[in-house]
Protein backbone atom coordinates (compact mmCIF):
# COMPACT_ATOMS: atom_id res chain seq x y z
CA UNK A 1 0.00 0.00 0.00
CA UNK A 2 2.85 2.38 0.82
CA UNK A 3 4.42 1.62 -2.56
CA UNK A 4 1.19 2.52 -4.38
CA UNK A 5 1.05 5.85 -2.53
CA UNK A 6 4.69 6.49 -3.45
CA UNK A 7 3.98 5.73 -7.10
CA UNK A 8 1.03 8.13 -7.08
CA UNK A 9 3.22 10.86 -5.53
CA UNK A 10 5.94 10.23 -8.14
CA UNK A 11 3.44 10.53 -10.99
CA UNK A 12 2.18 13.82 -9.55
CA UNK A 13 5.75 15.16 -9.46
CA UNK A 14 6.26 14.09 -13.07
CA UNK A 15 3.05 15.77 -14.16
CA UNK A 16 3.82 18.99 -12.28
CA UNK A 17 7.29 19.24 -13.79
CA UNK A 18 6.37 18.88 -17.45
CA UNK A 19 9.01 21.46 -18.39
CA UNK A 20 11.71 19.28 -16.88
CA UNK A 21 15.20 18.60 -18.13
CA UNK A 22 14.95 14.97 -19.24
CA UNK A 23 12.26 12.36 -19.72
CA UNK A 24 13.31 8.81 -20.61
CA UNK A 25 11.03 5.92 -21.52
CA UNK A 26 12.41 2.44 -22.20
CA UNK A 27 10.37 -0.65 -22.98
CA UNK A 28 10.81 -4.33 -23.68
CA UNK A 29 8.18 -6.98 -24.20
CA UNK A 30 7.98 -7.45 -20.41
CA UNK A 31 8.86 -4.10 -18.80
CA UNK A 32 8.42 -0.35 -19.04
CA UNK A 33 10.65 2.13 -17.20
CA UNK A 34 9.84 5.85 -17.05
CA UNK A 35 12.55 8.16 -15.70
CA UNK A 36 12.63 11.89 -15.06
CA UNK A 37 15.86 13.76 -14.39
CA UNK A 38 16.43 17.42 -13.56
CA UNK A 39 19.60 19.37 -12.77
CA UNK A 40 19.98 20.65 -9.24
CA UNK A 41 23.43 22.26 -9.61
CA UNK A 42 26.12 23.03 -12.17
CA UNK A 43 29.87 23.54 -11.87
CA UNK A 44 32.54 24.42 -14.41
CA UNK A 45 33.21 20.75 -15.20
CA UNK A 46 29.97 18.93 -14.46
CA UNK A 47 26.52 18.85 -12.96
CA UNK A 48 24.41 17.18 -10.30
CA UNK A 49 21.01 15.74 -11.23
CA UNK A 50 18.03 14.49 -9.27
CA UNK A 51 16.64 11.31 -10.83
CA UNK A 52 13.22 9.69 -10.31
CA UNK A 53 11.69 6.65 -11.96
CA UNK A 54 8.96 4.02 -12.05
CA UNK A 55 9.15 0.52 -13.54
CA UNK A 56 6.27 -1.86 -14.18
CA UNK A 57 6.67 -5.45 -15.37
CA UNK A 58 4.35 -7.85 -17.17
CA UNK A 59 4.38 -10.06 -14.05
CA UNK A 60 2.93 -7.17 -11.95
CA UNK A 61 6.18 -6.22 -10.21
CA UNK A 62 6.64 -2.49 -9.53
CA UNK A 63 9.70 -0.43 -8.68
CA UNK A 64 10.20 3.22 -7.81
CA UNK A 65 13.60 4.87 -7.63
CA UNK A 66 15.00 8.22 -6.67
CA UNK A 67 18.50 9.51 -6.34
CA UNK A 68 21.23 12.04 -6.97
CA UNK A 69 23.95 11.63 -9.58
CA UNK A 70 27.05 13.78 -10.18
CA UNK A 71 28.49 13.78 -13.72
CA UNK A 72 31.63 15.39 -15.08
CA UNK A 73 34.19 15.26 -17.86
CA UNK A 74 37.01 12.77 -17.48
CA UNK A 75 39.53 15.40 -18.58
CA UNK A 76 41.24 16.77 -21.65
CA UNK A 77 43.20 13.53 -22.21
CA UNK A 78 39.93 11.68 -22.90
CA UNK A 79 37.62 13.93 -24.96
CA UNK A 80 34.01 12.82 -24.99
CA UNK A 81 34.34 10.65 -21.88
CA UNK A 82 32.23 11.49 -18.82
CA UNK A 83 32.10 9.78 -15.43
CA UNK A 84 29.51 9.95 -12.72
CA UNK A 85 28.82 8.68 -9.23
CA UNK A 86 25.59 8.61 -7.33
CA UNK A 87 23.31 7.27 -4.66
CA UNK A 88 19.83 5.89 -5.35
CA UNK A 89 17.00 4.57 -3.25
CA UNK A 90 14.82 1.76 -4.60
CA UNK A 91 11.42 0.50 -3.49
CA UNK A 92 10.13 -2.73 -5.04
CA UNK A 93 6.83 -4.54 -4.68
CA UNK A 94 6.88 -8.08 -6.12
CA UNK A 95 3.79 -9.99 -7.22
CA UNK A 96 4.87 -12.75 -4.81
CA UNK A 97 4.08 -10.40 -1.93
CA UNK A 98 7.73 -9.66 -1.16
CA UNK A 99 8.80 -6.05 -0.66
CA UNK A 100 12.35 -4.82 -1.21
CA UNK A 101 14.05 -1.58 -0.30
CA UNK A 102 17.63 -0.64 -1.02
CA UNK A 103 19.99 2.29 -0.84
CA UNK A 104 22.60 1.73 -3.55
CA UNK A 105 25.85 3.41 -4.56
CA UNK A 106 26.84 3.45 -8.19
CA UNK A 107 28.83 4.76 -11.10
CA UNK A 108 28.06 5.79 -14.67
CA UNK A 109 30.20 6.11 -17.79
CA UNK A 110 29.06 8.08 -20.85
CA UNK A 111 31.13 8.28 -24.04
CA UNK A 112 30.31 10.52 -27.01
CA UNK A 113 32.90 10.16 -29.80
CA UNK A 114 34.18 13.69 -30.59
CA UNK A 115 33.81 13.29 -34.37
CA UNK A 116 30.47 11.43 -34.12
CA UNK A 117 28.73 13.57 -31.50
CA UNK A 118 25.27 12.19 -32.34
CA UNK A 119 26.30 8.73 -31.09
CA UNK A 120 26.69 7.76 -27.45
CA UNK A 121 27.52 4.77 -25.29
CA UNK A 122 26.23 4.76 -21.71
CA UNK A 123 26.66 2.23 -18.90
CA UNK A 124 25.80 2.33 -15.21
CA UNK A 125 25.93 0.00 -12.23
CA UNK A 126 24.30 0.54 -8.81
CA UNK A 127 24.67 -1.94 -5.95
CA UNK A 128 22.99 -2.18 -2.57
CA UNK A 129 24.71 -4.63 -0.19
CA UNK A 130 23.05 -6.48 2.68
CA UNK A 131 23.64 -3.62 5.12
CA UNK A 132 21.60 -1.12 3.01
CA UNK A 133 19.04 -3.55 1.56
CA UNK A 134 16.00 -4.34 3.66
CA UNK A 135 12.57 -5.90 3.57
CA UNK A 136 12.59 -9.36 2.05
CA UNK A 137 15.95 -8.99 0.27
CA UNK A 138 19.66 -9.13 1.09
CA UNK A 139 21.22 -7.54 -2.02
CA UNK A 140 20.07 -5.40 -4.91
CA UNK A 141 21.71 -4.33 -8.17
CA UNK A 142 20.79 -2.27 -11.19
CA UNK A 143 22.98 -2.57 -14.32
CA UNK A 144 22.35 -1.12 -17.75
CA UNK A 145 24.27 -0.43 -20.95
CA UNK A 146 23.04 1.18 -24.14
CA UNK A 147 24.01 2.67 -27.45
CA UNK A 148 22.09 5.76 -28.49
CA UNK A 149 21.65 7.99 -31.52
CA UNK A 150 20.57 11.62 -31.30
CA UNK A 151 17.83 12.07 -33.91
CA UNK A 152 17.19 15.68 -32.85
CA UNK A 153 19.16 17.99 -30.54
CA UNK A 154 16.50 17.31 -27.87
CA UNK A 155 15.79 13.61 -28.54
CA UNK A 156 17.77 10.38 -28.72
CA UNK A 157 16.67 6.83 -29.44
CA UNK A 158 18.55 3.86 -28.03
CA UNK A 159 18.83 0.12 -27.71
CA UNK A 160 20.18 -1.30 -24.49
CA UNK A 161 20.49 -4.18 -22.06
CA UNK A 162 19.32 -3.97 -18.43
CA UNK A 163 19.49 -6.29 -15.43
CA UNK A 164 17.68 -5.22 -12.26
CA UNK A 165 17.91 -7.97 -9.66
CA UNK A 166 17.12 -8.54 -5.99
CA UNK A 167 18.56 -11.40 -3.98
CA UNK A 168 15.79 -12.38 -1.60
CA UNK A 169 16.36 -13.55 1.94
CA UNK A 170 15.42 -17.12 0.98
CA UNK A 171 18.49 -17.42 -1.34
CA UNK A 172 16.39 -16.76 -4.40
CA UNK A 173 17.20 -14.19 -7.07
CA UNK A 174 14.40 -12.24 -8.72
CA UNK A 175 15.08 -10.39 -11.96
CA UNK A 176 12.74 -7.43 -12.25
CA UNK A 177 14.20 -6.85 -15.70
CA UNK A 178 16.79 -8.85 -17.59
CA UNK A 179 17.12 -8.33 -21.30
CA UNK A 180 17.10 -5.95 -24.22
CA UNK A 181 14.98 -2.84 -24.47
CA UNK A 182 14.31 0.14 -26.76
CA UNK A 183 14.11 3.67 -25.48
CA UNK A 184 13.55 7.34 -26.15
CA UNK A 185 15.29 10.10 -24.18
CA UNK A 186 13.92 13.63 -24.53
CA UNK A 187 15.50 16.83 -23.16
CA UNK A 188 13.47 19.95 -22.43
The average confidence (pLDDT) of the chain is: 89
Express each pLDDT in 167-185 by its tens digit. 998 778 999 999 999 999 9
Q: What is the mean pLDDT of residues 97-111?
A: 96
Q: Which of 58, 13, 9 is nearest to 32 (CA)?
A: 58
Q: Spell out where the chain has E strands.
A: 22-27, 31-42, 46-57, 62-73, 81-93, 99-111, 119-128, 133-135, 137-152, 155-168, 172-187
Which pLDDT score is estimated for 42? 86
Confidence of residue 4 (pLDDT cuts 50, 70, 90): low
Max Cα–Cα distance, the chain, nearest Å: 50
Q: What is the mean pLDDT of residues 66-75?
A: 92
Number of domains in the chain: 1
Express each pLDDT in 17-61 by its tens digit. 433 499 999 999 999 999 999 999 988 778 899 999 999 999 999
For the cut 70, the answer to whether the pLDDT of residue 120 exceeds it is yes
> Domain of 42?
2-187
Instruction: Enter the pTM of the model.
Output: 0.87
Cα–Cα dist 183/24, whole Å: 7
For the cut 70, the answer to whether the pLDDT of residue 123 exceeds it is yes
Cβ–Cβ under 8 Å, residues 160 and 143: no
Domain of 43, CATH number, reads 2.40.160
Amino acid sequence: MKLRASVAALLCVLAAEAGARELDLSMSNDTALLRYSTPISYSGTGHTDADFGFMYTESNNMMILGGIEMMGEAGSAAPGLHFGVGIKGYGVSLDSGDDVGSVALGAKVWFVPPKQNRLGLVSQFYFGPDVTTFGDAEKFWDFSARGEYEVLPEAAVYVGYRNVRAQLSRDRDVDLDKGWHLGLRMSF
